[in-house]
A and B are shown apart, each in its own frame.
Chain A
Amino acid sequence: MRSHKLRKRVDMAASLLAVGCVLVALIPLVSILVEVIRNGAPMLSWEFITDRTTSGVGNAILGSLQIVMYAAFIGLPVGILTGIYISEFGNNRMGSTIRFFNDVMANFPSIVVGLLVYAMLIVYLGMTYSIIVASVALSIIMIPIVANTTEESLKMVPNSLREGALALGVPRWRTVLKVVLSNGRSGVITGALLAVARVAGETAPLILTTMFSYFWTVSPNEPSAALPTLIFNYAMGYSSLTVDEAMRHAWGAALVLIMLVLSLNVSVRLLSMRRFKKNHKGARRWRTRLSLKA
């Protein structure tokens, strides 16, 4: 048996090691934020944000917004309906199959999703590299995420509400749409916005499906620039700018992208956290699932 003192020291050392692990993980996070702000901030100007590529990133911002918008139009309704099915009618074999593959799909490499959509829309249906093809790819990434969060938040709605509505003679479908969905509303919206924030930063599927463009694009059937692809192309030197200039543009674009993504992500999660703190009974489980709370 080891001495008491030694055991206490080992205990202390292990605790310090665990704290050390946390610090090690925080270093890259802080460093990324600092570097992006330090290198990107000098680039930020009205001109940089509104001009098209080579002097600014305006067309890439517009492209990103369009791609994400169309993706949300396709992905959110499908994802929410899938979540409704799993949560409200999924207590059977089909429900659990869908749930299982949804979980698996949620972790698929995004480049594979890009290839899948390329194989179908561009090769088979003969579409060109365009905004809409990229949106389809992003919406496929979105669907399982939205379905998961929708399911979780609908399951939090107490059963007594469903029973109450049904007992009043309200048909099941109206119960689901009016009572269950409106009570789980905030969770569904949170999940949807988080999914939007996530796909806004996706790059790999965009490379395979929209290519790149140096011009303004407003038609969904044309190739377009997007912030992530612009960062990639400039950082790898695939541009007409000099290496230095391209890197500076990439950092500027990275700052714009990280501001968009993180501000959406953080504000949504802070808001949902505050809302759930107000004497909500199911909140504990929901926050645990979102891993917002230990």
Chain B
Amino acid sequence: MKCGDANMNERGTEERGSLQKTRSGLSLATVRKTLGRSGDRLFVYLVGLVALSTLMLVWLLVAFMISDSIESIEEFGFGYLTGRTWEEQKGVYGALPFIFGTLLTSAIAVAIGVPVSIGIAIYLSELAPAWIREPLSFVIELLAAIPSVIYGLWAMGALRPLLVNSVEPWLVKWFGWTPFFEGTPQGLDKLAAGLILAIMIIPTVASVSKEALRAVPDSQREAALSLGATRYETTRMAVLTYARSGIFGACILGLGRAFGETMAVTMTIGNSNAISWSLIDPGQTMASLIANRWGEAEGLQRASLIEIGVILFVIALLVNVFARLMLGRVLKSVHTTGGGL
């Protein structure tokens, strides 16, 4: 019925249009109609073009970036990834120490940050009384709003004395026999960088995991509770199992953040190009190397730095695409509106 009505209305306006046309040559209605229609098309094309342009621009920029690093790619080839020296005098550059440093600090960050984040997510979604949820989420999100350079400054001013005076001597005393805690505590090292990264990934991982937990249907919880499970057992068996892919995606997202974080790491990691397993030795990540050397680098070294950027780009792309696929579309905008980094 409705369909028929619409058709009749349309025919009605057309008739009126043709009537006016006969009277004044070119009628207002037809002008409006054609303008409206082509205006529609124009608008869609325009907006689509803008939307597509940023996408194209980024890939264009990637091409520029690769062409800028070609000097270093041609010079070192795949050996760049396994080269251990970074020396200006010899003109030899290799990325292995920095890939190693990035992986190690990110591993520390995930090892410390993820359990804490999951605890927060469980508290916010399962345990907290309703009135505290909103303000508490708000406060946790604030962690993401603090600029990373301020994290770095805080680590230098407040975290470093704590690490040097109490945490690291204790670690050396009890775990000094392992390869991870050899050496003298300095406070600016991989442990400090890993801790800062752990704090910085908490808001991302916690808020995305919380969304994953909220997405678990209540029937899951009710079923477990009705079988006599305690709150803990319900959460462990019915909720966490159900939400595990979402939580996993959240962790990958956090990992991606840790890989790319620059300023806080640059300020805390101690700036040394050696490979060492000890967490209380200084080190270097890919991102911190770029930030540290950019001012003085020229020629081949700058091309090598840009190549590090290309590697970082590829890793970030893979990690994010993977996390996106794990999370699906449901949890989309949570972390992107948080800010930070």
Contact = CB atoms under 8 A, between A and B. Distances in A.
A58 interface: no
A294 B51 contact: no
Contacts of A32: 146, 150-151, 154, 158
A115 B314 CA distance: 13
A171 B35 CA distance: 9
B82 to A, nearest CB: 22
Contact of A120 (B61, B136, B137, B235): B61
Contacts of A292: 134, 137-138, 141
A291 B123 CA distance: 15
Contact of A197 (B36, B214, B235, B339): B339
Nearest to A75: B54
Interface string B50-74: 1111110110111011011000000
A254 B232 contact: no
B329 to A, nearest CB: 8
A194 B130 CA distance: 26
Contact of A204 (B68, B118, B140, B263): B263
Given A18-B123, A257-B150, A191 B337 contact: yes
Nearest to A177: B43
B52 A149 contact: no
B146 A145 contact: no
A201 B337 contact: no
B339 A194 contact: yes
Given A116-B65, A119-B64, A207-B294, A232 B149 contact: yes
Contacts of A28: 143, 154, 199
Q: Is the interface of B mostly helix, strand, loop or mixed?
A: helix
Nearest to A117: B61
A44 B207 CA distance: 35
B290 A35 contact: no
A294 B124 contact: yes
Contact of B145 (A82, A109, A197, A251): A197
Contacts of A98: 51-52, 55
Given A22-B136, A85-B50, A148-B333, A109 B287 contact: yes
A152 to B, nearest CB: 5
A169 B339 CA distance: 41
Given A101-B55, A110-B262, A15 B232 contact: yes
Contact of B138 (A26, A108, A269): A269
B199 to A, nearest CB: 5
Nearest to A100: B324
B61 A82 contact: no
B137 A198 contact: no
B119 interface: yes
A159 to B, nearest CB: 16
Contacts of A211: 295
Nearest to B53: A78
Given A22-B119, A22-B136, A198 B262 contact: no
B55 A201 contact: no
Contacts of B119: 17-18, 20-22
B324 A103 contact: yes
Interface stretch (B93-101, B170-178, B251-259, B276-284): B251-259
Contacts of A147: 51
Contact of B39 (A102, A173, A207): A173
Interface string A144-160: 11011101100000000
Interface string B122-136: 111111101001101
Contact of B337 (A88, A90, A100, A148): A148
B151 A294 contact: no
A105 interface: yes
Contacts of A273: 134
A119 B68 contact: yes
Interface in B298-341: 306, 309, 312-313, 316-317, 320-321, 323-324, 332-341
B65 A115 contact: yes
Contact of A89 (B48, B126, B338): B48
Contacts of A15: 127, 231-232
B51 A25 contact: no
Contact of B40 (A29, A101, A172, A231): A172
Interface of B: 13, 36-37, 39-40, 42-44, 46-48, 50-55, 57-58, 60-62, 64-65, 67-68, 115-120, 122-128, 130, 133-134, 136-143, 145-154, 156-158, 199, 202, 206-207, 210-211, 214, 230-233, 235, 253, 256-257, 259-263, 266-267, 287, 290-291, 294-295, 306, 309, 312-313, 316-317, 320-321, 323-324, 332-341
CB-based closest 3 A-B pairs: A109-B260, A201-B147, A21-B119
19 contacts: A7-B233, A18-B119, A18-B122, A25-B116, A25-B143, A32-B151, A81-B46, A86-B51, A89-B48, A110-B260, A115-B65, A116-B58, A140-B58, A169-B13, A232-B263, A288-B214, A289-B332, A290-B334, A294-B128
